């Protein structure tokens, strides 16, 4: 399934705008000039939507109040890299592996009463791995948090040679 990941990200940012506003968080697509462009990827749109909603929602809930959550899209030769970044405290090294476990929530976020179940990242990791990719976490205390993964671009052949319409 081919789809434009710029369109998908803009849709989700619009959908989460109210949630973000409740914490005074600003959502942004980077670079902003991409808003008028198209970046095609080969992936399951609904599942990738689920991954992005969770990552952005996490950035809003666990990031800096009145901070920023950005989705950074970078095109490489064969893939599009998708990185979701939030400012804030970040995640200490000892939690890096555990946040991907089902039902694991860092103590601070439990007491923050943000209402999550601790499943979002476990599901997201599973979906990304189902696309033969890896969901990576980069975070240093005080430096905010970034989750990133790559999705393949459609092959040129598949772009130019369309299957013929079924006869009938
Ligand atoms: P759910 O996604 O099921 O609603 P959740 O957000 O608590 O619940 P996950 O998305 O799996 O669950 O995240 C697990 C935990 O990892 C969170 O409870 C939080 O403690 C921590 N976490 C996730 N994303 C971030 C982030 N961007 N910054 C800091 N901590 C995070
Ligand atoms: Mg979550």
Q: Which two tokens stand for residue 139?
A: 């975070």
Q: How far apart are CA 4 and CA 44, in angstroms?
A: 11
Give the strand order in the sheet containing 68-75: 26-30, 68-75, 79-86, 145-152, 136-139
Query: Do 25 and 68 form a contact (C-beta atoms < 8 A)?
Result: yes
List, for residues 25-80, the tens digit of each pLDDT value: 999 999 999 999 999 999 999 999 999 999 999 999 999 999 999 999 999 999 99
Q: Which two tokens stand for residue 136?
A: 């990576």
pLDDT of residue 80: 98
List, for residues 79-131, the tens digit of each pLDDT value: 999 999 999 999 999 999 999 999 999 976 655 566 789 999 999 999 999 99
Atom of ligand 1 nearest to the CA of 119: 3
List, for residues 5-18, the tens digit of each pLDDT value: 999 999 999 999 99
Q: How far apart are CA 93 and CA 77, in angstroms?
A: 32
Within 13 A of 107's CA, how many CA atoms are on the CB side?
2
Q: Which residue has the tokens 């970044």?
A: 85
CB under 6 Å to ligand 1: residues? 54, 58-59, 62-63, 86, 91, 99, 104-106, 109, 116-122, 145
Question: Is this structure's pTM higher than 0.90?
Answer: yes
Beta-strand ranges (E) seen in the chain are 2-4, 26-30, 40-42, 68-75, 79-86, 136-139, 145-152
């Amino acid at each position: 399934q081919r789809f434009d990941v710029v369109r998908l990200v803009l849709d989700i940012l619009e959908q989460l705008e109210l949630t973000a506003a409740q914490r005074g968080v600003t959502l942004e697509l980077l670079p902003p000039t991409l808003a008028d462009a198209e970046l095609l990827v080969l992936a399951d749109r609904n599942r990738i939507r689920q991954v992005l909603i969770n990552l952005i929602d996490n950035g809003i809930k666990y990031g800096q109040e009145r901070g920023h959550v950005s989705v950074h899209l970078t095109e490489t030769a064969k893939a599009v890299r998708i990185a979701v970044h939030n400012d804030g405290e970040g995640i200490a090294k000892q939690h890096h592996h555990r946040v991907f476990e089902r039902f694991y929530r860092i103590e601070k976020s439990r007491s923050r009463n943000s209402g999550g179940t601790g499943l979002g990242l476990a599901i997201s990791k599973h979906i990304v791995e189902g696309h033969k990719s890896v969901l990576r976490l980069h975070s240093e205390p005080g430096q905010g948090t970034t989750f990133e993964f790559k999705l393949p671009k459609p092959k040129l052949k598949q772009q130019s040679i369309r299957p013929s319409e079924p006869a009938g």
